[in-house]
Amino acid sequence: MSEIFPVESIVRESVENDYSNSPFLHVRDDIGISLLCHTANAMNLEVQRHQKLIFEVRDGQKSIVFRQNSPENSAVYAYCARQKHIAKKLMADAGIPVPAGDVFEDYPSALRYFLEFGGEVAVKPSDGSSGAGVSCGIGGEEEFNRAWKLARHHSARVIVEQNLRGQDIRVIVIGGKAEAAYVRTPAHVVGDGIHSIRDLMERKNRIRRNNPSLRYDPLRNVDLLERRNISLDTIPSTGERVQLTSVANTSAGGETVEVLGLLDAESRRIAERAALCFPGLVQVGVDLMYCGGVPSAAHSPVYVIEVNSNPGICDAVFPSYGRAVDVPGKLLRHVLSTTTAASPRRLQVALAPVYRFSQFPRAFYQGERRQADLIKQAAFAHNLEIETLSDTVLKLRHGKFSCLFHGAIPECVRLVSRKITRNNDWMAEVLPCSEPHQQAGMGEGAGDESGRRLNHYRVLVIGNKVVAALYTQTAPQGMQTQVSRMDVSELIHPSVLSVLERTLQVIFDPFIAGIDLLMEDISRDACSQRWQVVNAVCNPHLGRHHFPDEGLPRDVAAVLLRELFPELPDSATRVACRVLVCGKVQHVGFRRWLKLMAVRHAVSGWVRNLEDGRVEAVLEGTERAVAQMVEQCKVGPLSAAVTHTEVESAPCFSRCSFSVLG
Give residue 399's region: left, alpha or beta (phi > 0; psi -120 to 50): left
Which of 390-404, 409-423, 465-479, 553-567 has the lowest average pLDDT? Answer: 465-479
pLDDT classification of 446: cutoffs 50, 70, 90 = low
DSSP type of residue 353: P
Which of 171-180, 477-486, 542-551 has the lowest average pLDDT? Answer: 477-486
Task: Over range 444-468, report the average pLDDT.
Answer: 81
**Helix segments in 382-440, DSSP class H:** 415-421, 424-430
Report d(CA 37, CA 482) in Å as an integer: 49
Q: Which of 530, 544, 591, 600 is catalytic?
A: 591
What is the structure's pLDDT at 327? 97
Q: What is the pLDDT of residues 217-263, one digit of tens each?
A: 899 989 899 988 999 999 999 989 899 998 878 888 888 999 998 88
Report d(CA 645, CA 578) in Å as an integer: 10
What is the structure's pLDDT at 251? 83
The answer to whether 172 and 178 have CB atoms below 8 angstroms apart is yes
Q: What is the pLDDT of residues 629-638, one digit of tens each?
A: 999 999 999 9
- Number of other residues whose CB lies within 10 A of the CB of residue 192: 15
Q: Is the pLDDT of residue 625 over 60?
A: yes
What is the structure's pLDDT at 447? 53
- Number of other residues whose CB lies within 10 A of the CB of residue 26: 7
Q: What is the pLDDT of residues 267-307, one digit of tens each?
A: 999 999 999 999 999 999 999 998 876 666 666 789 999 99
* CA 38 to centroid of chain Cα atoms: 30
Inter-CA distances, 523 with 76, 386, 397, 504, 529, Å: 35, 39, 39, 21, 11
Of 567, 496, 563, nearest to 528 by C-alpha is 496
What is the structure's pLDDT at 15? 79
Report d(CA 557, CA 354) in Å as an integer: 11
Task: Over range 401-419, report the average pLDDT.
Answer: 96
SS (H, E, C) 493-531: CCCHHHHHHHHHHHCCCCCEEEEEEEECCCCCCHHHCCE
What is the structure's pLDDT at 502? 96
What is the structure's pLDDT at 449? 52
Task: Over range 460-484, report the average pLDDT.
Answer: 91
Of 282, 264, 90, 89, nearest to 177 by C-alpha is 282
| Between 152 and 26, the higher pLDDT residue | 152
Q: In what order do the strands lie in the sheet with 158-162?
A: 101-104, 158-162, 121-125, 135-138
Domain 7-78+167-338's class? Answer: alpha beta
The answer to whether 434 and 499 have CB atoms below 8 angstroms apart is no
Q: In the chain, what are the domain boundaries?
A: 7-78+167-338, 100-162, 356-404, 415-564, 574-660
Check whether domain 100-162 has CATH 3.10.310.10, yes or no: no
Report d(CA 182, CA 322) in Å as an integer: 9
Residues making up the chain, counted from first to last: 662
Task: Over range 466-486, report the average pLDDT.
Answer: 89
Q: What is the pLDDT of residues 303-354, one digit of tens each?
A: 999 999 999 999 999 999 899 999 999 999 999 999 988 888 999 999 999 9
574-660: CATH topology: Alpha-Beta Plaits (3.30.70)
Report d(CA 580, CA 123) in Å as an integer: 46
Q: What is the pLDDT of residues 517-574, one digit of tens each?
A: 999 999 999 999 999 999 999 999 999 999 999 999 999 999 999 999 999 998 899 9
- Number of other residues whose CB lies within 10 A of the CB of residue 649: 9
What is the structure's pLDDT at 438? 52
C-alpha Rg value of the chain to the nearest Å: 29
Examine domains 7-78+167-338 and 415-564 and report if their fold is the same.
yes
Residue 408's SS3 state is coil
Task: Over range 171-175, report the average pLDDT.
Answer: 97
Q: Is the pLDDT of residue 356 over 90?
A: yes
Of 245, 243, 262, 237, nearest to 150 by C-alpha is 245
CATH H superfamily, domain 415-564: ATP-grasp fold, B domain (3.30.470.20)
What mean pLDDT value characterizes the chain? 92
What is the structure's pLDDT at 440? 45
DSSP type of residue 581: E
Q: Which of 215, 356, 609, 655 is catalytic?
A: 609
**pTM score, two decimals?**
0.90
The answer to whether 468 and 480 have CB atoms below 8 angstroms apart is no
Q: What is the torsional sign of CA 17, 21, 23, 26?
A: positive
Task: Over range 613-632, report the average pLDDT.
Answer: 97
Whether 591 is a known active-site residue: answer yes
Of 233, 161, 177, nearest to 201 by C-alpha is 233
| Between 132 and 458, the higher pLDDT residue | 458
Of 222, 225, 227, 219, nearest to 120 by C-alpha is 227
Whether 73 is a known active-site residue: answer no
Report d(CA 637, CA 634) in Å as an integer: 10
Inter-CA distances, 32 with 37, 82, 109, 313, 416, Å: 9, 19, 41, 6, 17
**Helix segments in 211-347, DSSP class H:** 223-227, 265-276, 314-317, 327-338
pLDDT classification of 451: cutoffs 50, 70, 90 = low
The bridge status of strand 604-609 relative to strand 658-660 is parallel
